[in-house]
């Protein structure tokens, strides 16, 4: 009886082994594919944050039109701003600080000026991961 082929038991063992091994191989692969878009989202969020930071830094040291110190919210709250992309909400905060970057007085009025203004821009990606950009601006004569 020189019949070639597999027995039923061999086929069943192969199916059971494939059922155990394939999920162990496929799950990490699927996880990697799902996360492959994250660098693009992070880059987009950082781009939008940097764009806002440049807008804020170009204004006169003692005055920021969209964040007038008298309108800045209390308790270190951030002020929302439109990023141009509804999936990436943004917010920023501006305070006058001392040389140790501690808020001076209420941090809102230029009269509290000790020479530095701290700007924080925060942008969230669609997965709600927050990306923050910090800058300190000095008042050069």
Report whether 120 contacts 92 (CB < 8 A): yes
| Domain locations along the chain | 43-138
pLDDT of the residue at 10: 92
pLDDT of the chain, 141 residues: tens digit per residue: 677 888 899 999 999 999 999 998 998 888 877 777 788 899 999 999 999 999 888 877 666 545 544 444 445 578 898 999 999 999 998 888 887 888 877 666 656 566 788 889 999 999 889 999 999 888 765
pLDDT of residue 9: 93
In the structure encoding, which two tokens stand for residue 19, read together? 């059922």
Q: In terms of C-beta density within 10 A (0-12 exposed, 13-18 middle, 19 or more buried), how is residue 98 classed?
A: middle
Please tell me the distance from the alpha carbon of residue 85 to that of residue 102, in angstroms, as a whole number.
32
So what's the pLDDT on residue 57? 83
pLDDT for 111 equals: 60
């Amino acid at each position: 009886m020189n019949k070639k082929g597999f027995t039923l038991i061999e086929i069943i063992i192969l199916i059971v082994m494939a059922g155990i091994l394939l999920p162990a191989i496929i799950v990490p692969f699927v996880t990697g594919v799902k996360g492959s878009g994250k660098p693009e989202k992070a880059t987009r969020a950082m781009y939008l944050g940097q764009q806002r930071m440049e807008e804020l830094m170009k204004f006169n040291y003692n005055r920021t039109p969209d964040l007038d110190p008298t309108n800045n919210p209390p308790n270190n709250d951030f002020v929302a701003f439109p990023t141009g992309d509804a999936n990436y909400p943004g917010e920023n905060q501006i305070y006058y600080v001392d040389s140790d970057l501690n808020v001076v007085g209420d941090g809102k009025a230029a009269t509290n000026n000790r020479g530095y203004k701290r700007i924080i821009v925060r942008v969230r990606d669609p997965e709600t991961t927050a990306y923050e950009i910090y800058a300190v601006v000095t008042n050069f004569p």
